[in-house]
């Protein structure tokens, strides 16, 4: 008899230690690549998992109840087992009835908050355990899950109007031109069981370039006492590039900064000074590799009524004659509305938005 070769998940080429925490295996539980897969157990998400994970699927009950097929809990367990059979550590998470926000990070490292609508009886499946969201292994694992990992329970079997019916008896809405696999909408998130302070610690800036750019700034955004501040102006340039081999101590000599980005940084600093010293606003400035931003205010959340009022205060206002929104003008000297006569002027962004305060 020919011995069966063990299944090797494509994710294991990324480094098994980064994909799962230490798992105690029992002799009775079959395992693939060190990942336990025992169908008599339920792999419930815990605070020790993650902290960064991949949201694989969010399963909610059909309106009026499931008349056929699996319940959301059964489908989530099945998806979890199918992932674990491929060597991918997966967990199920019973979503509370209240609405909650998940913090995600894009490929360019920018944070985005996704608001999950209330899922009464809903269950999510999360996979993998990563120490960082911007680690190359995290993004590679995400792409593999979205394009190569098989999940039979979620595979489409028939079309039903604008929806596609799955093998597990569920439905998902079809999106023209975007369907690749049942897991094509997976995204990176933090473990939803972590509290706000734990999430804040995860977002700590560890890039020596950003630290060097912002640590000596008098009114740097990382010194803001709140969790969010409202961005009223972005200055975008080209890029800031670290020369190969550069160490933190060499940053002044070994970093290439485009003229546009340098100029944007100076403009952001000057606007921040004017907002503070002349206009009396609590203003901050933040520099990164692609832009400099000026923010105002200190808030606990983007939904804070004070943050919403601040955003409205600096948002573009409709012209009294044309009705076309016109951005707020900050000029030197103060009150000069003719930009041809102004020594310096800035047109603020039309739509301000709340930005998380960087943690350094």
Q: From first to last of its 360 residues, what are the pLDDT tens digits of the chain?
A: 334 333 333 333 333 333 332 222 222 344 455 899 999 999 999 999 989 999 998 887 766 555 666 888 888 999 999 999 999 999 999 987 655 555 555 545 555 555 444 455 589 999 999 988 777 888 899 999 998 998 888 887 766 666 666 766 666 665 555 455 778 889 998 898 988 777 767 777 767 778 888 888 999 999 999 989 999 999 886 544 444 444 444 444 444 444 567 788 889 999 999 999 999 999 999 998 778 999 999 999 888 999 999 999 999 988 888 888 889 999 889 888 888 888 888 999 999 999 888 887
Say which DSSP state 254 is in.
S
* H helix intervals, 43-182: 72-84, 136-147
Sign of CA dihedral 341, 271, 310, 108: positive
Q: What is the spatial distance between Cα 216 and Cα 287, in angstroms, rounded to a whole number? A: 11
- Whether the CB-CB separation of 116 and 102 falls below 8 Å is answered with yes
Give kind and range of the element (H or E) at residue 234.
strand 228-236
DSSP designation for 189: E
User: Residue 61: what pLDDT?
Assistant: 76
Report the C-alpha gap between 42 and 79 in whole angstroms. Answer: 11
- Would you state the pLDDT for residue 174? 58
Whether 348 and 233 have beta carbons less than 8 Å apart is answered as yes
Separation of CA 151 from chain center? 24
Instruction: Sheet with 123-130: list strands edge to edge.
Output: 90-94, 123-130, 52-59, 187-190, 100-105, 111-116
pLDDT at residue 159, rounded to an integer: 66
332 beta partners: 344
Q: What is the pLDDT of residue 198?
A: 78
DSSP H stretches of helix in the chain: 16-19, 72-84, 136-147, 196-202, 208-214, 259-277, 305-314
Q: What is the pLDDT of residue 160?
A: 63
| Separation of CA 63 from chain center | 30
Q: Answer yes or no: are the C-beta atoms of 209 and 242 closer than 8 Å.
A: yes
CA distances (Å), origin 163, targets 21, 56, 123, 222, 251: 37, 19, 20, 46, 54
Q: What is the pTM of this model?
A: 0.51
Residue whose entry in the numeric block shows the structure tokens 């023209």: 176
Tokens 């597990």 identify what position?
168
pLDDT at 26 (0 to 100): 27
Q: What pLDDT was estimated at residue 313?
A: 94
Residue 323: the pLDDT is: 80
As a whole number of angstroms, the distance between CA 193 and CA 76 comes to 18
Residues in the chain: 360
Cβ-count burial of 121 within 10 angstroms (0-12 exposed, 13-18 middle, 19+ buried)? middle
Distance CA 188, CA 56 (A): 9
Looking at residue 24, its pLDDT comes to 25
Tell me if 99 sits within 8 A of 118, measured CB to CB.
yes
According to DSSP, residue 111 is labeled E
pLDDT at 320: 82
């Amino acid at each position: 008899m020919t011995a069966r070769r063990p299944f090797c998940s494509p994710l294991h080429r990324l480094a098994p230690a980064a994909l799962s925490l230490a798992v105690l295996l029992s002799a009775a539980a079959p395992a693939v690549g060190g990942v336990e897969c025992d169908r008599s157990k339920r792999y419930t998400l815990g605070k020790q998992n993650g902290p960064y994970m991949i949201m694989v699927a969010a399963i909610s009950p059909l309106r009026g109840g499931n008349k056929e097929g699996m319940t959301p809990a059964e489908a989530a367990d099945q998806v979890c087992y199918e992932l674990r059979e491929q060597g991918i550590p997966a967990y199920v998470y019973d979503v509370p009835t209240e609405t909650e926000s998940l913090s995600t990070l894009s490929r360019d490292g920018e944070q985005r908050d996704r608001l999950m609508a209330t899922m009464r009886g809903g269950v999510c499946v999360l996979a993998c355990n990563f120490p960082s969201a911007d680690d190359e292994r995290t993004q590679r694992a995400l792409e593999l899950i979205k394009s190569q990992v098989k999940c039979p329970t979620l595979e489409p079997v028939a079309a039903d109007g604008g929806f596609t019916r799955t093998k597990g008896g569920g439905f998902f809405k079809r999106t023209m031109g975007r369907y690749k696999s049942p897991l094509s909408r997976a995204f990176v998130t933090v473990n939803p069981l972590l509290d706000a302070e734990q999430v804040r610690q995860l977002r700590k800036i560890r890039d020596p370039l950003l630290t060097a750019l912002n640590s000596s700034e008098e009114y740097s955004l990382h010194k803001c006492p709140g969790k969010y501040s409202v961005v009223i102006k972005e200055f975008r340039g080209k890029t800031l590039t670290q020369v190969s081999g550069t160490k933190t101590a060499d940053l002044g000599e070994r970093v290439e900064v485009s003229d546009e980005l340098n100029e944007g940084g100076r403009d952001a600093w000057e606007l921040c000074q004017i907002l503070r010293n002349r206009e009396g606003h609590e203003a901050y400035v933040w520099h990164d590799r692609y832009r400099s931003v000026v923010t105002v205010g200190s808030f606990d959340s983007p939904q804070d009524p004070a943050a919403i009022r601040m955003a409205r205060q600096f948002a573009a206002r409709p012209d009294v004659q044309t009705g076309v929104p016109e951005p707020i003008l900050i000029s030197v000297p103060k009150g000069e509305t003719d930009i041809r006569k102004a020594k310096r002027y800035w047109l603020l962004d039309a739509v301000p938005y709340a930005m998380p305060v960087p943690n350094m």
